[in-house]
Amino acid sequence: MGRAHHGGSVVTGTASETDFPGPDEVVGFWSWDKMHAPRPISPLAGDLVVPTLGAGFTEAQGEFAAPLAMQAKLINYYMYASFYPVDLGDETEEDRWTRYMESLKRMVPKVGDLWENEWKPSILPTLTKGKTADYTTLNDDEILATLDEQVAGIQYRWMIHGRINFILIATSDFVDYYAELFIPEDPTEAYQLLQGFHTRSVDASVGLWKLGRLIRASPVVLQVFEQLEPKAIVHALEGSAEGKSFLAELRSYLDEYGWRSDAVYDIADITWREEPSAPLGALQGYIALGDHANPELLFQKAVKRREKLIKTARARLADEPEQLQKALDGLPEVFRTPIILYYFEDFSYRDIAEQMDLPIGTVMSRLARAKAYLRTRLLQPVPAVLADGRRRATDGL
């Protein structure tokens, strides 16, 4: 494949050979994205989705001071991605890592609010425009201008996606902490505490389930779903009043939730609104299920389970402040001070290093050892992590 400039955008063409990886690309750091793009991608998606993915993620990672950047490429119509170390310039690796960790501490707790109040509202107007625009009325210049707008919009949305990805760090930390603190018999218990929250996916599942119940309530419509393949269902339903009534409900659902396709990255693929075989096939599965599989009931069950686990956890932690204070009192001063400054006074690694006249690496090491000690002290009667902590308290760690 080759690349050519048209207007402000770069458009994919064809070439007899592909030099990949190139001389400036690290061999071994590229991977085929089989999960999101298991099939060949169209040139249109290659122009709009692939390069903007790498650029958007890299921009987001830069905002968090992450030491890695991302690049994506379309090679022989398959998508490859690479995470690679950024050029630090005059910044040392230790300083960059410190800045990254401090950014995570500052930014990750805000991601949910930022998504609801800033990021999501900022992308909705362009998504609405994309749904309602009539591209058949555009001339060539207008089409190229629209292409440039699409490239900028998709890169912006990838950037927001990249920001949101960092919430996975908080999720992982929570699961690890919960497992260490409570040692549950069920290894999935921590994940159950993260379920039972209302999402758009819940609404989509409930809406599809309700359509399935409409099918079961109509013998005429049910017969069509039981006897025909998904691709033949719409045409068959057009032949009866009950079928047309159901199609109106289906199209209303698809206008809300059908703006996607089986291909995650390939925006040239036909959406479910245009070719609804995928949701029709899902409905054929739904109509065979009993009421126990109602996603709304399953959601409420997840909510109750989460609330029960939270109540139990809070009861077990009711006396934790007193235990924590005792554990803190048992720490040598050189370990207690960084913990208090970092978690209670909101000092950064750099602030603590300056306050205690220590290298940043030593601050991070002492925080890690202190946290390990506190976990052991709070979970087990006899701590061992810092058994020699007092003897080594001034050895520079």
The answer to whether residue 179 sits within a structural domain is no
pLDDT at 140: 93
Q: What is the DSSP string of 24-65?
A: TS-TT-EEE-TTT--S---HHHHHHTHHHHHHHHHHHHHHTT
For all residues of the chain together, what is the average pLDDT? 85
pLDDT at 246: 97
Instruction: Domain count for the chain, please give it.
Output: 3
Same domain, 35 and 136: yes
Placement of tokens 């709304």 in the chain: 296
Largest CA distance in the chain: 86
The answer to whether residue 184 sits within a structural domain is no
Same domain, 97 and 50: yes
pLDDT at 208: 96
The answer to whether residue 96 sits within a structural domain is yes
Same domain, 34 and 69: yes
Which residues in the chain come in under a pLDDT of 70?
1-28, 319-320, 379-397
pLDDT at 341: 87
Same domain, 14 and 90: yes
Encode 112-127: b = buried (16+ Cβ within 10 Å), e = exposed.
eeeeeeebeeeeeebe
Write out the residue range of the structural domain in which residue 87 sits: 3-165
Same domain, 145 and 46: yes
**CATH number, residue 323:** 1.10.10.10
The answer to whether residue 254 sits within a structural domain is yes
Structure tokens at 148: 């440039």
The answer to whether residue 186 sits within a structural domain is no
pTM of the prediction?
Answer: 0.78
Give Cβ neighbours of residue 54 (< 8 Å, ≥ 6 apart): 69, 70, 71, 72, 73, 81
pLDDT at 395: 39
The answer to whether residue 389 sits within a structural domain is no
- Give dist(CA 130, CA 117) in Å, integer: 22
